[in-house]
Structure 1
């Protein structure tokens, strides 16, 4: 049994395919937006986020409660460690 594919069939298929691709793209974009927060935060951002002094941030660093990196004289702190610190306090 042979079926004939018309231009209209191909246009309909193209539109369905385009809709599927757009749906997949929208899902990817929304999941990327959720993960846009930086993994490492500068000291100033940590102080603002936690509403603590520079000395308190230094104490967290010195006591190894949170991971940090020093890059060109600036300290960066791991966001995941900060979240764990919040979770531990609860």
Structure 2
């Protein structure tokens, strides 16, 4: 049979202090450059930026007012094009 070990209040207090110290230490640092805007964005992001509905975005695509690239079933838009549209609206 194995030996029995008892845990004292002091052991628990020490564990608590070590755990809190570990939790306070920052563990995640985003890679450099992650705060920059990504070059291509999806349809839902365009709608949020422009404050438009899916139907309005469809009309903008059909009329050629907004450029897009289709990859599979998803549509991507250049962020710089969307930014230019936002600047025109102001």
Do they fold alike, i.e. is TM over 0.5? Answer: yes
TM-score under structure 1 normalisation?
0.56
State the partner residue of 1:77: 77
User: Which structure: greater helix fraction?
Assistant: 1
Number of aligned residue pairs = 59
Equivalent position SS for 1:59 = helix
User: TM-score, normalising length from structure 2?
Assistant: 0.56
- Using the TM superposition, give the Cα deviation of residue 37 of structure 1 relative to its aligned residue in structure 2, in angstroms: 1.1
Mapped partners of 1:46, 1:76: distance in 2 = 9
Residue 62 (1) aligns with residue 26 (2): no
- Unpaired runs of 5+ residues, structure 1, are 1-28
Distance 2:80 2:65 in 1: 11
Greater gyration radius: 2
CA distance in 2, matches of 1:71, 1:33: 23
